[in-house]
Chains A and B, each alone.
Chain A
Amino acid sequence: MPDITRDEVAHLAALSRIDLSDAELDHMAPQLSVILDAVASITGVVGDDVPATSHPLPLTNVFREDVVTPGLTAEQALSGAPEVEEQRFAVPRILEEEA
């Protein structure tokens, strides 16, 4: 069934900004394959007549009226930020972060 390659794991790790060493990649790839295999067993029970489900509740159109509700103060919002400057979240350089 699905076999996830070491390259695919490396690609996913890069997308997720997770820094995996060669040893970790060697370790993760087979593990993820096992997990995917286990999940894949579900394909054995679905037929063509069963549509894919993205949500278990038989609900649609759950809306909120367009009315302002109180949120956080700037102080609260920034309280968990590692670095703050000028009432903004200070983040590492964005451009060229990936070589």
Chain B
Amino acid sequence: MSATTETLVDFDEVLTRYEPALGLEVHVELSTATKMFCGCSTAFGGEPNTQVCPTCLGLPGSMPAVNKGGVEAAIRIGLALNCEIAEWCRFARKNYFYPDMPKNFQTSQYDEPIAFEGYMDVDVDGETFRVGIERAHMEEDTGKSTHVGVTGRIQGADYSLVDYNRAGIPLIEIVTKPITGAGAKAPEVARAYVQQLRELIVALGVSEARMDQGNLRADVNLSLAPIGTEKLGTRTETKNVNSFRSVERAVRFEMSRHAGVLDAGGSILQETRHFHEDSGITTSGREKSDAEDYRYFPEPDLVPVAPSREWVEELRGTLPENPTAKRARLQAEWGFSDLEMRDTVGAGALGLVEETIALGAAPQAARKWWLGEMARRANDTGAEIAELGVSPADVAAVQKLVDAGTLNDKLARQVFDGLLAGEGTPDEIIAARGLGIVSDDGALSAAVDKAIEANPDVADKIRDGKVAAAGALIGAVMKEMRGQADAGKVRELILAKLT
């Protein structure tokens, strides 16, 4: 790959000469029980080729039948994105020959998407960007290929193995209009859009929307135009950007790369790029001479979808609260400052904090664990906060133990260590690691006595009424108890003994 020889222009310098235009295509895999065009299960993780039938295998004579649940989810997504819902639309065949699609075409929608002309308001650092939605259409997922390298074959040393369990699972593809005017914030806008779109999808309950499991996949289009020009530049499409952070990095990298090419008097090749998670760079994808020649035509085996206005309004009635209004309401309910709220949204932790609070934790406690503790750990490992393996229920359970005086913050952190290491539930971890505050008053009292004895001058100060000096003794007791004591209780005991 020639990526390493490319000239990258410093991000700040790019902005002095160019205006970026973004476009995002997000595929959402629906969590319907069955596939889009047949009754096969969509359950994740089944044995290979056990969730298949003649239709999703593309066997001769099989006929598709549209999943009503998939259409409903598509309409609800469209409505939540402020789209118009088509009064009449059709499926189309997108023809291509690739083993992951056994029919040799993907059933999709072409020029008649079910939802179009919408928008989503995206919060970025307290500023609102209105992202135009071009369309949201229904289609189906492909099978999963595993590529195998072997030797000893005459033709093609490598081959692939295909599992069609995923082939035919409903997908909704959501395409934005070109997003211009974001300037330096383009990478953050891209990330915030995908993040807040995910929150919306989760709130709708139409998908697991886990990026690590491929339920939500983003393709990032980017172009640069010299500042002051109206016309958009040539774009590249970076595929399979699999985390929020990567969306931001991919935009940043492509901006720097495009500027390097344009500065040198070159022109951007309209092409597919692949993002590399490890290095944060993109490389040129395979160029196909006849790419984009899909010979779309209306699917003859399916009749048009013509949602009645009554049905659309009925589905509108099932929509969750508008995200912008919801954020304002939650902020007021939780008493978060603007900055606290912004950080919560920015970290992609809004839903997690909300669930944790719903399970009984105080708002500031929920915020503290997710933004202080989990965000830091996610950052350390480069994972998404939602994908750490700690659930809102875990955090709420730990906080409950803190509230009850069974754990202090330090011990709680050790419980989270255990959770991240997959050691079981909070209770199991506490038992296995011997965590938990010693509530045995005898042991605590003995430790306090020992601390007083070892620090006679501090004890004298407290006896003289300098209560603030108690901190030194509390520290000594906590050390003696290896952290497994409630600092408030220790303080009470010290004061009781000395005053």
Q: Do A and B come from one complex?
A: yes
9-residue interface stretch from B152-160, B213-221, B233-241: B152-160
B232 within 8 A of A: no
Binds A, one of B43-51, B328-336, B389-397: B43-51
How many Å lie between the Cα of A89 and that of B89 in the bound state?
Answer: 35
Q: Assess whether B34 is in contact with A86, with CB atoms less than 8 Å apart.
A: no
B130 within 8 A of A: no
Q: By the criterion CB–CB under 8 Å, are A78 and B49 in contact?
A: yes
Write out the residue numbers on chain A whose beta carbons fall within 8 Å of the beta carbon of B159. 90-93
| CB-based contact A64/B161 at 8 Å | no
Which of B68-76, B190-198, B429-437 lies at the interface?
A: B68-76
How far in angstroms is the closest Cβ of chain B from A63? 4
Residues of B within 8 A of A86 (CB): 48, 146, 161
State the total of A-B contacts with C-beta under 8 angstroms.
Answer: 140
A72 touches B52 (CB 8 A): yes
Tell which of B52, B67, B97 touches A64, judged by Cβ atoms closer than 8 Å.
Answer: B67
Q: Which residues of B contact A55 (CB under 8 A)?
A: 298, 300, 303-304
Contacts of A92 in B (CB 8 A): 155-156, 159-160
Q: Which of B53, B69, B146, B297 is A72 in contact with, Cβ under 8 Å?
A: B53
Binds B, one of A10-18, A20-28, A29-37: A10-18
| In the complex, A43 has a CB within 8 A of chain B | no
Distance of A86 Cα from B49 Cα, bound (Å) = 10
CB distance from A85 to the nearest CB of B (A): 6
Would you list which residues of chain B between 48 and 62 have a CB under 8 Å from chain A? 48-54, 56-57, 59
Given the known interface contacts A61-B306, A66-B70, A89-B49, the answer about A71 and B160 at a Cβ–Cβ threshold of 8 Å is no
Contact with B along A65-99 (1 / 0, CB 8 A): 11111111110011010000111111111111010
Report how far A11 CA is from B53 CA in the complex, Å: 33
Contact A63 B300 (CB under 8 A): no
Task: For chain A, residues 41 to 76, give those with C-beta under 8 angstroms from any C-beta of chain B.
Answer: 54-55, 57, 59-74
- Would A60 and B303 be within 8 Å (CB), given that A93-B159, A94-B145 are in contact? yes
B290 to A, closest residue via Cβ: A15
Q: How far is the CB of A28 from chain B (nearest CB, A)?
A: 17
| Contact A74–B47 (Cβ < 8 Å) | yes
| Interface size class, chain B | 35 or more
Bound CA–CA A16/B96 (angstroms) = 8
Inter-subunit contact B290/A90 (CB<8 Å): no
B231 within 8 A of A: no
Please name all residues of chain A whose beta carbon is closer than 8 Å to the beta carbon of B71 when the two chains form the complex: 63
CB neighbours (8 Å) of B65 from chain A are 62-64
A5 to B305, CA, bound (A): 37
A89 CA / B304 CA spacing, docked (Å) = 33
Q: Which of B158-214 touch A at CB < 8 Å?
A: 158-164
Measured in the bound complex, the distance between the Cα atoms of B59 and A7 in whole Å is 32
Contact A88 B163 (CB under 8 A): yes
Q: Contact: B98 with A94, CB < 8 Å? A: yes
Contact present for B67 and A90 (CB under 8 Å): no
Contact in complex: B99, A89 (CB < 8 Å):
yes
Contacts of A95 in B (CB 8 A): 147, 286
Closest to B288 in A: A98
Closest residue of B by beta carbon distance from A64: B65
A-contacting residues, B97-147, CB 8 Å:
97-99, 145-147
A93 with B158, Cβ < 8 A, contacts A54-B90, A63-B68 known: yes
Q: Is the CB of A71 within 8 A of B32?
A: no
B residues near A74, Cβ cutoff 8 Å = 47-50, 52
Known A-B contacts A66-B32, A67-B39, A74-B50; the reply to A90 vs B307 at CB < 8 A is no
Identify the closest chain A residue to B51 (Cβ): A71
Residues 308-324 of B, flagged 1 when their CB comes within 8 A of A and 0 if not, give 00000000000000000
* Alpha-carbon gap, A22 to B458, bound state (A): 101
B293 at the interface (CB under 8 A from A): yes
- Give Cα A67 to B68, complex, Å: 10
Q: Kindly list 5 other residue pairs between chains A and B, CB separation below 8 angstroms, not including A69-B34, A98-B288.
A: A11-B293, A54-B297, A66-B34, A71-B51, A72-B57
List 12 A–B pairs whose Cβ atoms lie within 8 Å, in order of A's numbering: A60-B305, A61-B307, A62-B303, A69-B34, A69-B39, A71-B38, A72-B53, A86-B146, A88-B163, A91-B145, A94-B98, A95-B286
Closest 4 CB pairs of A and B: A69-B39, A66-B69, A71-B53, A54-B298
